Amino acid sequence: MSDDGCQCSSLRVLKALASSITQSGVDWDELARAYDLAPEILYLNHASIGTIPRAIASARHRYLDLCETNPWLYIWGGAWEKERQDTRRRAAALMRCDADEVAITHNTTEGINVLAQGLPLGPGDEVLFSSMNHPGASVCWQQQAARRGFKVRRFEFPVAEADSMSADDIAAIYREQVRDATRVLVFPHVDNIVGFRYPLRQMASMAHELGVEFVVVDAAQAVGMIPVDVGASGVDFYATSPHKWLQAPKGTGLLYLRKAMQERVQPMWTTWGQARWKGTVRVFEDYGTRGMPEVLALGDALRFHDELGERRKHARLRDLWEHTRALVDATLRIRWRSPRDWKSSSSLYAVEVGGVNAPEAGQRLYEQHGIVLRAFGGAELNTFRLSPNVMTSKKQIERVVRIAAAL
């Protein structure tokens, strides 16, 4: 594809969305019509997997159609190298770091696996994380520990107290758990259960001060949802999945590796490019054939995010959060189970309906009302997780709360 061809495709994406985005603001109701969510579905599960605007899906299809006219040229011939690098630069600008610190992966789990397999760990070393870790940021460490002899320690996080916790409380909980042997600390930027927004700088500073060598962050629920400044955060590694909050195609991921740390990590897989890409972040992408249409469409999703505006998007999600919390607080049978301060919270929150088994009721909500959310059951939490994105309306949230209260 010529540069002009790619540019035209990207421009079509923005033009298709232009009616809802102006200098004065965003018409959120108009924007909602730019997606292909089924009308009978009320989707509140972007924290599991998001949806993309129709225009980005169309761009991805156009890239694929063009690729098939000359597959060698577009996959191996370098025709899309400029576009690949543009996607990397846009991702780095969003995360506020250098472009040569961002590897384009397939998802957060892959990014964490790169680190679990590639960091120099062995007998006597410890990897530490809490029960708030997603399995994608946990299981790989346990598998590698069994092979290489290092230790994994998982501690129970008091999740039932999350609605009254502060950032200082979070840091203090982890501080108490760090030991002399702790070389790796893993935690989420935003956890996937109650949506607590971890204080990155405070956590990284605390960990390094106590002698932790590698600070690893699962950012699957952060990038595209809240402002991120990974370069100034002090963390060493930061992995995310753009298919959630950035509204990018499935099968795209990003991994930040702080430049000073890259030589400490062995690539997870290698083919022919290690000598060619030596000294660059590209060594962590050396896994052979890649779905380049998805990479280019990720670039379009980043453009779309820029057009929406980070501040406007963040304000929109906060507005929905405040609306939902007010509804829940005014409903006798429903209790808010997430942080009550927006600075510590996110567009991912847990609510509990008294006398209801959440996993069972969650299935009924889908089967009877088309409501898609995530339910958690257990001794400490029995909750519905709501995770709306910018196209979600207040009326939809009101409907969910009304139906949940009647369960």
For the chain, domains (ranges, CATH) are 83-303 (3.40.640.10), 311-405 (3.90.1150.10)
Mean pLDDT of 138-156: 97
Report the distance separating Cα 231 and Cα 234, nearest Å: 7
Report the distance separating Cα 263 and Cα 271, nearest Å: 18
| 147 three-class SS | helix
CA 259 to the chain's CA centroid: 21
Mean pLDDT of 365-370: 97
Output the pLDDT for position 21: 75
Output the pLDDT for position 378: 82
Q: What percent of the chain has pLDDT over 90?
A: 89
Output the pLDDT for position 16: 60
Q: Report the phi/psi class of residue 218: left, alpha or beta, with left for phi > 0 and alpha for psi in -120 to 50.
A: beta
Give the relative orientation of helices 54-67 and 3-17 as an angle to the nearest 10 degrees: 160
Per the listing, tokens 């760990």 go with: 121
pLDDT in tens, 289-305: 989 999 999 999 999 99
Contact 248/56 with Cβ under 8 angstroms? yes
Min mean pLDDT across 40-44, 159-163, 344-348, 363-367 is at 159-163
Tell me the pLDDT of the chain averaged across its residues. Answer: 93
Mean pLDDT of 305-323: 95
Mean pLDDT of 106-111: 97
**Entry pTM:** 0.94
Output the pLDDT for position 251: 93
At 319, the pLDDT band (50, 70, 90 cuts) reads very high
pLDDT in tens, 228-284: 999 999 999 999 999 999 999 999 999 999 999 999 999 999 998 999 999 999 999
Per-residue pLDDT for 12 more than 80? no
Output the pLDDT for position 360: 95
Per-residue pLDDT for 353 more than 90? yes
Output the pLDDT for position 287: 85
Per-residue pLDDT for 14 more than 80? no
Output the pLDDT for position 25: 80
Per-residue pLDDT for 145 more than 90? yes
pLDDT in tens, 16-36: 665 677 666 889 999 999 999
Q: Is the dihedral of CA 293, 271, 274, 262 positive or negative?
A: positive
Per-residue pLDDT for 225 more than 90? yes
Report the distance separating Cα 281 and Cα 352, nearest Å: 44
pLDDT in tens, 82-95: 999 999 999 999 99
Report the distance separating Cα 127 and Cα 207, nearest Å: 12
Instruction: Name residues whose C-beta falls within 8 Å of residue 166's C-beta, 6 or more positions apart in sequence.
Output: 341, 344
Instruction: Name residues whose C-beta falls within 8 Å of residue 265's C-beta, 6 or more positions apart in sequence.
Output: 114, 115, 118, 119, 257, 284
Mean pLDDT of 135-143: 96
What proportions of the chain, in percent to the nearest 5, are helix, strand and coil? 45, 15, 35
| 134 three-class SS | coil
Q: Is the dihedral of CA 351, 357, 362, 367 positive or negative?
A: negative
At 386, the pLDDT band (50, 70, 90 cuts) reads very high
Output the pLDDT for position 1: 44
Question: Comparing C-alpha atoms, which of 1, 3, 31, 36 is closest to residue 16?
Answer: 31
What burial class does residue 236 get, using C-beta atoms within 10 Å of its C-beta: 0-12 exposed, 13-18 middle, 19+ buried? buried
Report the distance separating Cα 336 and Cα 381, nearest Å: 11
